[in-house]
Structure 1
Amino acid sequence: MFVKPARLQIAALCFRPGDKEPEILLVSTRDTGRLILPKGWPEKDKPAHQTAIIEAYEEAGVVGKAEPRPMGSFRSYKGLSKGVKIRTKVLVFKIRFEKQLEDFPEIGQRQCVWLPLSEAIEAVNEPALKRFLRRKRSEIM
């Protein structure tokens, strides 16, 4: 049986120091309000880690430095119009937080929350993202 390969998306795992553990940024989806990492389709003619920087800025106003190598990936689904969902592979890049701007392209379209890592793991409801964050916990700490 032929299975169409997953389409690639690029995600930004933005982190900053917290009181007891690092905090990571989650943003809400525009349709259902689920909490996810900022992510999007690859940008033409740009390295993947640059796409992660662009997504963090566009969705949350975050400015930071991305590691050029991905920290890993997980499988997900992207909701399209009329309830269509397509399978995606999400490549995740760590971004060290520098600042968060008050004005950015998707302001007002998403909620942006910084949560301690352990709370962020519980706040996401996508099982594959939850597993990814648990598995990569030591790399984020």
Structure 2
Amino acid sequence: MIKQLPIFLSGAGKRDVRTQFAALCYRVRKNKVRVLMITSRGTQRWIVPKGWPMDGVTPAASAAQEAWEEAGVRGTPDDRCLGIFSYSKDADDLGALPCLAMVYAVKVEALADDYPEAGQRQRKWMSRKKASRLVDEPELARILRDFDPRAQGGSS
């Protein structure tokens, strides 16, 4: 397998980059896959953790960092992109920005009670099917529904 390389943003600002990296946080217990969903800070919609690229960091590691900041997840990311979904991000000063989010699986090893955005979001374990019904983005719903780490021969 090809090793993922870090991204270098040299001169690019958050407002210039419209690609984000998202974490599909999961665990397998008694052969059942559960995904960890969080609420957005503004509208309280169910989403997956996601954020902007970080200079010198791989996309998968960026997704894992967002999982930590937004959901208190300590886990191992998989370098393989599960898929891409599109959405509009509300940027106060710029209006709605069209964004593409690349999704990476993060196997959850521990959940912290104290993390950067604790108290700003809810988090909840749920089935892939339920999570797929609760998200607004059709492509993300498909990624959630189709995800099965047991069948991917990777980080299960």
Query: TM-score scaled by structure 2?
Result: 0.79
1:99 to 88, 91, 110: 110
Tell whether 2:64 aligns with 1:53: yes
Bigger mean CA offset, 125-134 vs 29-38: 125-134
CA gap of 1:46–1:102, structure 2 versus 1, over 3 A, is: same
In structure 1, stretches of 5+ residues that fail to align are none
**1:29 aligned partner:** 40
Contact 2:17 2:52 in 1 (8 A): no
The aligned counterpart of 2:87 is 76
RMSD between superposed Cα atoms in Å: 2.1
What are the superposed Cα offsets for residues 26-84 of structure 1, whole Å, 9 maximum, x if unpaired? 11111100100000001111111110110000001000000112111111111111681
What fraction of aligned residue pairs are identical, expressed as a percent? Answer: 35
Runs of 4+ in structure 1 deviating by more than 4 angstroms, as ranges, are 138-141
* Matched residue SS, 1:68: strand
Residues 18 and 116 in structure 1, CA contact (< 8 A), matched pair in contact too: no
Say yes or no: does 1:137 pair with 2:134. Answer: no
Deviates more, 1:115-124 or 1:16-25: 16-25
**Structure with greater helix percent:** 1
Q: Could you tell me which runs of 5 or more consecutive residues in structure 2 were left unpaired when the two chains were aligned.
A: 1-15, 152-156
What is the TM-score of this pair, normalised by structure 1? 0.86
* Closer/same/farther in 2, CA of residues 127 and 6 from structure 1, 3 Å limit: farther
Question: Retained in 2: the 8 A contact 1:39–1:52?
Answer: yes
Larger RCO (CA under 8 A, 6+ residues apart) = 1
Q: CA deviation at 1:127?
A: 2.7
Asked if 1 retains the 8 angstrom alpha-carbon contact of 2:71 and 2:118, the reply is: yes
Task: State the partner residue of 1:87.
Answer: 98
Deviation, structure 1 residue 118: 1.2
Residue type at the aligned position of 1:128: E
